[in-house]
Structure 1
Amino acid sequence: MTLKELKTDFQNPLIGLYPSEEIQSFFNILSEEYLRLSRIEMALNPERIISEEASEKFQRALLRLKNHEPIQYILGETEFYGLLFKVNSNTLIPRPETEELVEFIISEQKLTAQNPQLTTILDIGTGSGCIAISLAKNLFNSKLSALDISNEALKIAQENANLNNAEVEFFQVDILKTKTLPKQYDIIVSNPPYVRELEKKQMQQNVLEYEPESALYVSNEDPLLFYRTISHLAKNHLRPNGKLFFEINEYLSEELNALLNSEGFRNIVIKKDIFGKDRMIKCSLNE
């Protein structure tokens, strides 16, 4: 089978299931992974002979894509903030907006860093570990800790820390049941579940069927449950002038602003993502 034939056999069954640009992207990504060919090399060598073993890999991936399984789970990895992360069905697939949250924290730290003191940071609901590990790799005078309710997610997070040579202390905690955190922190960050049940209809099929529900959804009746719980804990476990960062539901920014005010946080800043949606919030204690 030639590369050209492989491309046709792979792409045709996906027509109608995905946009044409996404189908092309799937083929390019898999070709880089399975064939070690760049897009230019593929364009220049359409008659290249493809081995039976490689062809079978594409067919297995095709079957999973036809069932709407995310390409990241098929590959078992994805890129986030310039780093490689392993992912599986126990972890959310890291999103670009979460990269923006990481960039927000890093930029804030670089702006406010006035002394060489160690910065202690806690990531709540770490999943794949993408936030904690990215911060550990980019904030050099920092000590990172991260927690999650899922032991399976924490196994992946530890693998990712090892993969990226990052030092992060992971521990298992149900944040909705704990009354305390291990110590005091300069920064607490969280990307908690914030998609309301009523918003499920806006989600893509691959998210609905494959990504862990416990990391995504909250009830319509109490959509700020995690934010309220975490902010209450943060009040008692942030050092003076400590900061709290959240990724947020774009539709609930004002409600969250009011919640943080009621909890005694000040200097509340709501930040929009690149699409102009309210997606991040920062606040502080005692400033």
Structure 2
Amino acid sequence: MNTMFDLQQYALQELKDTYTEHEIKVLCSLAFCKLLHCTNIEIHLNKHEFLAKTFVDKFVQIVEELKTDKPIQYILGETEFAGIDFQLNSETLIPRPETEELVMWIVESGVQPGTSVLDIGTGSGCIIVSLGKLLKGVRLCGVDISPEAVEQAANNARRNGVEVKFEVRDILRYEEWAWPSFDVIVSNPPYVRESEKALMHDRVLNYEPSRALFVPDADPLMFYRKIAEFGRDHLNWGGLLFFEINEAFGEETVELLREMGYEDVELRKDINERERMVKARGNFKF
């Protein structure tokens, strides 16, 4: 067992009760790319070359961790989002493809140089750092309740050459701090109801930070309401508010924003035809 081909066969056997064959092959490619600093094409071209024992040992350890349902992103300590590498820790969610769509919606919304953007619940910083790579001349800020998440986000910004001001803040108690105003506010806040835990995989429940995921069944829109309230106080005239949302509460989120005085509220489906994003415009007088 000393080539990439051998190791993939080993993984297919060891993980067959946990993952599909396709999933195992993807996991192997991610591990090979990370540990050998190679591309998928190089994996294919060199799959029968002999590997150092240290690499083989590391790969076997990865397989053992995968057996526990630990996500590969946490095992490797990083993931790719919007074509950018992001490091992760136990206080940061694994970025999802739907969130990439939210980032691109912001990019396509005519954001101009000099625009100030706030990312609430920044986590790994994937949204705000990606915006910094895709938009030129914008002023960026990210906040999160977790000091560990903020530290990780700041590190990701530095690694990717993006200047972002990060702060540890609890948006549910935003009144306790002084804030500037912003032209764009974006958030992917907790929105999964506690009752939905029964539908979720152990990979999520056992490893991803629960306070970044779950909200009480009795008030599933609590973060949206509070952030929308914050926006009325700190969103510049004509500024934009973007949310990633629970697909079960699309119309409810739209109605909430309209009732709070937001205009041009738009609900958008993701690539899987699920209602997962909302954009709204704020015209509030401070």
Q: Shorter-chain TM-score: which interval? A: over 0.9
Report sequence identity in percent. Answer: 45
After superposition, residues 1-287 of structure 1 pair within 5 angstroms as 1-3=1-3, 4-109=5-110, 113=112, 118-179=114-175, 182-286=179-283
Question: 1:42/1:137 Cα in 2 relative to 1: closer, same or farther (>3 Å)?
Answer: closer
Residue 181 of structure 1: CA displacement?
5.2
Residue 31 of structure 1: CA displacement?
1.5
Distance in 2 (CA, whole Å) between partners of 1:39 and 1:167 is: 31
Cα RMSD (Å): 1.6
Question: 1:54/1:270 Cα in 2 relative to 1: closer, same or farther (>3 Å)?
Answer: same
Question: 1:41/1:187 Cα in 2 relative to 1: closer, same or farther (>3 Å)?
Answer: closer
Structure 1 portions without partners, runs of 5+: none
TM-score by length of 1: 0.94
Distance in 2 (CA, whole Å) between partners of 1:37 and 1:141 is: 33
Question: 1:157/1:36 Cα in 2 relative to 1: closer, same or farther (>3 Å)?
Answer: closer
Distance in 1 (CA, whole Å) between partners of 2:253 and 2:178 is: 22
Aligned residue pairs: how many? 282
SS where residue 25 of structure 1 aligns? helix
SS where residue 284 of structure 1 aligns? strand
Distance in 2 (CA, whole Å) between partners of 1:45 and 1:213 is: 40
Distance in 2 (CA, whole Å) between partners of 1:286 and 1:176 is: 22
TM-score by length of 2: 0.94
Structure 2 portions without partners, runs of 5+: none
Distance in 2 (CA, whole Å) between partners of 1:108 and 1:38 is: 33
1:2-41 superposed Cα distances (whole Å, 9 cap, x missing partner): 3133222222110021111000111111112223454444
Question: 1:219/1:44 Cα in 2 relative to 1: closer, same or farther (>3 Å)?
Answer: same
Distance in 1 (CA, whole Å) between partners of 2:28 and 2:218 is: 42
SS where residue 8 of structure 2 aligns? helix
AA at the equivalent of 1:58:
F
Check conservation: 1:28, 1:39, Cα contact below 8 A. Answer: yes
Residue 46 of structure 1: CA displacement?
4.5
